[in-house]
Amino acid sequence: MSKMGISVLESYRGAQIFQCIGLDQKVIDRAFTGTPCTAPALSFTDIANESMMFHRRAFPELEETAAAEKLEFAGWYKYIKNKGEFHMNNPDMSRALHRAVREKEPLAYEEYRRQIMDGRPVTAIRDLLDFASDRQPVPLQEVEDATSICSRFVTGGMSLGALSREAHEVIALGMNRVGGMSNSGEGGEDPLRFHPIEDVDDEGNSATFSHLKGLRNGDSATSATKQVASGRFGVTAAYLRSGKQLEIKIAQGAKPGEGGQLPGPKVDEYIARLRNSVPGVELISPPPHHDIYSIEDLAQLIFDLHQVSPDAKVSVKLVASSGIGTIAAGVAKANADVIQISGHDGGTGASPLSSIMHAGGPWEQGLSEVQSVLVENGLRNRVTLRVDGGIKTGWDIVVAAMMGAEEYGFGSVAMIAEGCIMARVCHMNRCPVGVATQREDLRRKFPGTPDHVANFMLFVAEEVRTIIAALGYRSLDEVIGRSDLLRPRAENAVRTNVPQPALASQRRKKRTPKQLTKTSCIDLSGFFADERPEEESRLSWVGSQRNRSAHSNGPVLDDEILADPEIAAVIESNSGRVCKELRIENVHRSVGGRLAGVIASKYGDYGFQGEIELSFVGSAGQSFGVWNTSGVCLRVTGDCNDYVGKGINGGTIVAVKPADSSFASEENVIAGNTCLYGATGGQVFLNGRVGERFGIRNAGCEAVIEGSGDHLGEYMTNGVIVALGAVGRNVGAGMSNGLLYIYDPEDRGLQMNADNRSNVFRVTSPVGQEQLKVLIQ
């Protein structure tokens, strides 16, 4: 239950936080009343027969027949040759893919495709579908080129930490070469990667990136998409400004409901530095974003991101599940540019095995629902739809396109392309080929180059071209949203419109697709349309947001600040000091965010040498001082709403009560909830009490407050917080490092998480006393 963010048993009872896939409606009505069900199929009789089958295998001594079998290892977590559960990621597939990308050999890629597509049992909903074209084939040379198709490709949010430095950088380099977008994951990114590589010799080696090979001058190792997850590891203004797209990860397909998890052995000095933590300490992100408790909160975070980087699109990653359409409609209205639907086939490079099974839903179900809801509500033209989760071939991409997706994500298969052999020990820090480990001895065995990733993407794009040519179309845009071109696949029929070149390997016995008995009665009507959608309506949204610039926040107070000639001069010259006084109101949100973004884009997080001091009078809106950076001091005389200092990395934020006020500051709230969320540096001084979750995931900020609500310092990994007044319950829950100084003159004690009570001490050391004195003064 705790993995889903549920703290007490009462919250679980009767909540029905699950959904069903493949159960007959009569079963749902009797046993799971009110539970959503995708693709209705199995009856009580079918379930009983399957249960008895397993029972007979488990207890053969109870059977009178000699044919009784012993229950064998099912292979649910690991591939077993010629028996057990089928795995699309298997040794034969990975060997074929390695040969294809390393030799740039089309016939080897076709062998890889054959290993995945031909003769496998039904593994995904799309395996039950086939194409039903309404046109004659067209010449391949008339079809959209591979480079254009590659621009729609992205890789999943695999963090630096889950992956080795080498593997993470090679994926970024390969995707940048073909015009696609890699994803940083939630572990931050080394600022060294934000700039092009310009010191490559004739052998493809670089002194700056000496651990890589196959480089070229002008290569970029930065991830085009920067992820903002619940842990906020390494999220600073410079990090955000380096991304072409900023992704809010609400959940991930591999383990929806859980935060990211990085085992302690994978947190070496390099990873700890990037995440503002200490080596060897397990890092677990909170299950939810603590600044997102409503669709309005999500809209505020989207606003924060558009504020710091106006040119970057903001994507929101959701997990396929029943009801996702309603959520997606809210996300579109919240001003997101991209909605990503992740299926349950997504892998994971760091989490324990207990997080893998029975989590998430098929992307086919999520994508179909989101597409339908957005079109019906006139919201489809506001966003680009992206899908990921087990996508491995061009055939998968064309199916996803017909269901409405415009962009397509690759996860584990991108790791395989760069050398992963599916040893399935990612979470144990002993990947034998250096892909998912931080051990230096194993990382030296990493075989991948950027070309391997680039070659795979180009092979997939060429397969897409071949399929849409066979269908009679000339571009992906022409088939996007055309679910009328999908039909249920006839039992044992070979997939149509898939090229079948004459390979030596295909002279073996022809394998036919295997349809399981239990999948033969699935209702697939929700995954395709009987009639062609109205073309004018379809063209009104196909590619509309994808081809536009990012959504705008409109006129903001920061525009006036940046337009001031004195402030502009200090930023441009990187020197000098300027002080300004301004009026602020609660409609002024994310003040300072755009200023921080402009400074960080020029000088990084720590390179600004000027001083900008802005004094405000009034009531600051949400996210005052968001992403604040070095050299900037923001002072407000009045009060602030929620999220003060969110993501602060440097500089100073001060809030004080008006000089003529008569109330006691320690008895009144001066700032709202979830202040300093994800802070990595800087100082914050608040002349009053604050709301709940102050300093959650603080990783380096120093702060002084006069009391707080519940959950003070939750999940802290670094930094210092001084509370000069009463605090609520659950102090320091999940805290792994950093310091909390709490004034407790009446010796009331603290309502702390049990694990942290042993770490409570009186301030007696000279070092602690001096630190406390300096901060309070």
Question: Is 741 within 8 Å of 713 (Cβ atoms)?
Answer: no
pLDDT of amino acid 352: 66
Q: What is the pLDDT of residues 704-718, one digit of tens each?
A: 999 999 999 999 999
- CA dist 455 and 475 (Å) reads 21
Assigned CATH class of 94-539: alpha beta
Question: How is the chain split into domains, by residue range?
Answer: 19-71, 94-539, 557-776
pLDDT at 358 (0 to 100)? 76
> What does the pLDDT look like over 614-664, one tens digit per residue?
999 999 999 999 999 999 999 999 999 999 999 999 999 999 999 998 888
pLDDT at 416 over 90: yes
Give me the pLDDT at residue 503, please: 38
> For the whole model, what pTM was predicted?
0.93
- Residue 70 has a pLDDT of 59
* Length reported for the chain: 777
Q: What percent of the chain has pLDDT over 70?
A: 91
Per-residue pLDDT tens digits for 665-692:
989 999 999 999 999 999 999 999 999 9
State the architecture of 557-776 in CATH terms.
3 Solenoid (2.160)
Q: How many CB atoms lie within 10 A of CB 147?
A: 13
Residue 509 has a pLDDT of 38
Question: 182 — phi, psi (to 5°)?
Answer: -90, 170
pLDDT per residue over 110-138, tens digit each?
999 998 888 788 888 999 899 999 899 99
* 329, pLDDT greater than 70: yes
More confident site: 444 or 511? 444
Cα–Cα distance, 579 to 212 (Å, whole number): 47
What DSSP character marks residue 516? Answer: P
Residue 513 has pLDDT above 90, yes or no: no
| pLDDT band at residue 226 under the 50/70/90 scheme | very high
Q: Per-residue pLDDT for 504 more than 50?
A: no
Least confident stretch, 84-93, 450-459, 548-557, 730-739: 84-93
Q: Which residue in this structure is represented by tokens 């991409």?
A: 397
**Three-state secondary structure along 355-377?**
HCCCCCCCHHHHHHHHHHHHHHC
Question: How many angstroms separate the CA atoms of 249 and 315, rounded?
Answer: 8
Mean pLDDT rounded to a whole number for the chain: 90
Query: What CA–CA distance (Å, rounded) separates 725 from 666?
Result: 6
Whole-angstrom Cα distance, residue 386 to residue 739? 42
Q: For residue range 534-552, what is the model confidence (pLDDT) as tens digits?
A: 888 899 899 877 888 999 9
Higher pLDDT, 722 or 12: 722
Q: pLDDT (tens digit, 9 = 90+) per residue, 577-589?
A: 999 999 999 999 9
CA distance linking residue 499 with residue 485, whole number of Å: 18
Cβ 176 vs Cβ 154: under 8 Å: no
Mean predicted confidence (pLDDT) in 34-38 = 87
In this structure, what token pair is assigned to residue 6?
Answer: 């549920």
Query: CB neighbours of 343 closer than 8 A, spacing ≥ 6?
Result: 253, 320, 360, 361, 362, 363, 364, 366, 387, 388, 389, 390
Question: How distant, in Å, are the alpha carbons of 585, 668, 722, 752, 773 from that of 743?
Answer: 32, 17, 8, 15, 13
Share of the chain above pLDDT 90, in %: 67
